[in-house]
Structure 1
Amino acid sequence: MDLNQLAVTVNEALTDINKGVGYKINKYASIFTAEATAILFALKHIKEKNQLDQNWIIVSDSMSVLKSLSSSKINANINYLIFAIKELWWELSLTDTDVKFVWVPSHIGVLGNENADFLARTIVNMSDPSTGTDIISSLKKRMIGNWGKHWYCCTEIENKAHAYSLLDVPVNSTPWFCKFKNIVHRKFYTTITRMRIGHYCLNFHLHRKNIVPSPYCDRCQMQEAQSLDHIIFDCPSFGIQRLMLMDELLNIYGAPNLIPSTVTDLLKETTTYMSLYKFVHNTVNML
C-alpha cells in the first residue's frame, strides 16, 4: 500500500470521528517524549475500546520513535516510554488485536490532523503535570546558558580575547572533541586544547606568567617570540617537520594559497587538528 492509498484508507476510517483526546505533558519534555507519549496514549485508547479481533493503524510523523520501536536493543539509554509502548503492544497482540505503526511525513493528506492541532492548541495553557520528565535536559540547557553569560561577561580574564578568537563558535554548540571519537589518548586532547586557548608551554606564554626570563625562541637565532605561529611557520629548526605538515595541509585545503597563515585560522578547522598535533609532538612537545 503506497502513501496515497494509506491516506485514503485512514481518511475513510476517520470520517465519523468528531472527538479527540488531549493530554498535556511536562514543559521540560523533549519532542521525542511528546511523540512517544502520543503513541502510548493511542494504544491505551485502543485497549479501552476492548474490542477484540480488530485491526488498527497508528499514524505518526516521528521517524525516531518508530525506529526505536522497531529496534531490539535494550539498554539504559532508551526512553522508558518505548518499553511501555512495547509492553502494551504485546498485551494487545495476545487479544488478537492487530496494531500497525505507519510513518507519514507531517501527516500529509490525513484527515483529522487539523483537529489534532486544534486540540493541542486548546490544552497548551493547561497546568503542567507534576512529573519531572526530561528535567536533566532542561538543567543541561540552563547550565550551558549560564556558562555562556559568564563567558561573554568576564572580559577581565587574561587571554580571553585570544581564546575567543580561536573558539569563534556558539557556546551551546557541540564540543570539538566529539568529532574525534576514535582517538583515545589524552595527550591529543590536552595539546589541542592548550593550543586553542593559548596556554601552552612555550616561552611566549611562559614569559607572561613570569616562569621564564625571556619570551624569545631558544631553538633558533631569529630573536623572535617563541609562539605557536613562530614554531609552526618560521622557526628554521623544524624545516623537515614543517614540510611534512604543509604536505598534509595541502591535502586538506587543496591549494597552497588556501592554507591559512596563522595558527588561529588553522585551529578553526578540526580537520587540521591531527596534523598540528603530530607536528607539535615531534618538535617542541609542549606538555
Structure 2
Amino acid sequence: MGKEANNQIKFMEWYLNNWSEYKLIFTDGSKDKQGNVGIGIYLNERTQLTARLPSANSICSAEVFAIKKALELIQQNNFIKCLICSDSKSALEKITRSSYKAAIDSQTLQLKQKLCEFDEQHIEIKFAWIPSHTGIIGNDRADHLANLGRKLPISGEPKASFKDFQIKYKENLWIGWEN
C-alpha cells in the first residue's frame, strides 16, 4: 500500500474515531504565477463549488473566502455539525484568533460574524488543519476544484482586502519601475 493511500486510511480512522457525527467539508484556495485566483469546496460528488476571484486577492484571502463559502453551503443545507478541513494554517489561524484587531479584513470579519450566528443557533463548526498533497481524497478534490476555479470567469466577489490591494499595487509599481 502506498504512502498516500495510508494517509487516507489514517485520516478516515481519525475522522471516524473523533468526528463521525460531523459533516466533512474540504476547502482550498489557489493562485498561479499569472495571478489567477480560484477556490474549491468539496463535500461529496454531488456538492462541490468552484469560483475564480479577482487577482488582487492573496492566497490567504482565497482560503478564507473558500471557508466563508463553505459556511454558506452549511446554512443552505441546514447542517448542524460540520468539520471544515483546510490545508491553510494561516487562514485557520486568522479565523480562530480570538482578538478582533482593527486591521481585520471584511471577509474574515463577516466569517467570524457568521460563526457567532451559528453558535447562537447551536450549529457546531469545527476546523481541522490537514497537510496538502498527501493523498487525503477530499483535500485533493478541493485542490483540484480551486485549480479549475482559476480558469473560470471572475466572480464579482470578494473584493480584495485593502492589504491585498496594497501588495498588488506595490508589485505593479516595481514592475513599472523595472520597465
Could you state the TM-score of these two structures normalised by the residue count of structure 2? 0.68
Deviation, 1:142, is 0.6
1:1-287 equivalences under 5 Å are 6-8=11-13, 9=15, 17-19=44-46, 20-51=48-79, 54-106=80-132, 108-130=134-156, 132-133=159-160, 134-149=164-179
Q: Distance in 1 between matches of 2:156 and 2:76?
A: 24
- Matched residue SS, 1:56: strand
Aligned residues: 143
- Matched residue SS, 1:17: coil
Kept after mapping to 2: 8 A contact 1:55/1:97: yes
Percent identity between the two aligned chains: 27
- Matched residue SS, 1:112: helix
Q: Distance in 2 between matches of 1:70 and 1:114?
A: 23
Q: Flag structure 2 segments of 5+ consecutive residues without an equivalent.
A: 1-7, 25-42
- Matched residue SS, 1:106: coil
Normalized per residue, the structure richer in strand is: 2
Q: Distance in 2 between matches of 1:107 and 1:44?
A: 26
- Tell me: CA distance 1:5–1:125, structure 2 relative to 1, closer, same or farther (3 Å): closer
Deviation, 1:130, is 4.1
Deviation, 1:29, is 0.8
Deviation, 1:146, is 2.2
Larger Rg: 1
Normalized per residue, the structure richer in helix is: 1
Kept after mapping to 2: 8 A contact 1:69/1:82: yes
The residue type paired with residue 144 of structure 1 is W
- Matched residue SS, 2:84: strand
Kept after mapping to 1: 8 A contact 2:115/2:125: yes
Moved over 6 A (4+): none
Q: Distance in 2 between matches of 1:55 and 1:96?
A: 9
Kept after mapping to 2: 8 A contact 1:25/1:128: yes
Kept after mapping to 2: 8 A contact 1:7/1:109: no
Could you state the TM-score of these two structures normalised by the residue count of structure 1? 0.44
Q: Distance in 2 between matches of 1:130 and 1:17?
A: 26
Kept after mapping to 2: 8 A contact 1:61/1:107: no
Deviation, 1:45, is 0.8
Kept after mapping to 1: 8 A contact 2:86/2:139: no
Range moving further from structure 2, 72-81 or 23-32? 72-81
Q: Distance in 1 between matches of 2:96 and 2:66?
A: 17
- Matched residue SS, 2:137: coil
